[in-house]
Amino acid sequence: MTILFDLDGTLIDSTEAILESFETALHTFGEIAFDEHKIKAEVGHPLDVMFRTLGVQEENIWAHVDAYKACYRTIACEKTTLLPYAADAVRLASEHAVLGIVTTKTATYSKEILEDMGIMRYFNVLIGREDVTHPKPHPEPVRKALSLLHADTTRSWMVGDTPMDIESAHRAKIACVAVTCGYGQEDVLRKSTPYMAKNALEAVKFIVES
């Protein structure tokens, strides 16, 4: 069995680091006002997509991304925490399956965060934004993880908290359990998958008992 996990809103809470990095980037250029609620609503999308959705002009997108990353890399570990039950979820999953991470975050920062939290050792692969041409909701990230793990799609699952996670999994021909502890709205998630859980541990228990 193979279980792939999203990061933000599924296993970790890096909201404080994300918001501070967006605020720093937006204030650096002064083009767009900082709006916490709009930013939270876009978490799960790649940074360039998020800045574009917020209204940053196309020619300034990547300068904003660079400013964000310059801030984020200095505060990510300090201002990121494991979500409740996440460590237990990963340990339980590792007893029954081969594990991977599929995220739109930068892989380098993601690995550093998970190493700092002491759980990176449970994962055989981590696919980040720089590892693919097309991020979630495209199936490429999930497909790449499955390929590297030599996974059987009929015995593979994705655990995520946004519609992008669900769509990416379904387009890669694997099932997805949506968790309601993250950024996605429960009513929206329910329209995309019949499998719902309150958190990652509940999702893993459902998967291993299926």
Q: Is the Cα dihedral 88, 91, 92, 97 positive or negative?
A: positive
Indicate which residues carry an active-site annotation: 6
What is the rounded (10 degree) CA torsion for 196, 171, 132, 8? -10
The pTM score is 0.92
Q: Which of 50, 75, 100 is the last residue of a domain?
A: 75
- CATH code for position 42: 1.10.150
Measured distance CA(12)–CA(14) in Å, rounded: 6
**Within a 13 Å sphere around the CA of 187, how many CA atoms are in the beta-carbon half?**
0
Tens digits of residue pLDDT in 150-204: 999 999 999 999 999 999 999 999 999 999 999 989 999 999 999 999 999 999 9
**What is the predicted pLDDT for the residue at 88?**
97
**What is the predicted pLDDT for the residue at 31?**
86
Q: Which of 33, 53, 75 is the last residue of a domain?
A: 75
130 near 111, Cβ under 8 Å?
Answer: no
* Residue range of the domain that includes 158: 2-13+80-209
Peptide bond into 84 cis (omega under 30): no
CA 202 from centroid of its chain's CA atoms: 18
Q: Which of 53, 75, 97 is the last residue of a domain?
A: 75
> Is the same domain home to 46 and 71?
yes
**Tally of domains in the chain:** 2
Sheet holding 175-179, edge to edge: 125-127, 98-102, 2-5, 156-160, 175-179, 196-197
Compute the average pLDDT of residues 49-73.
95
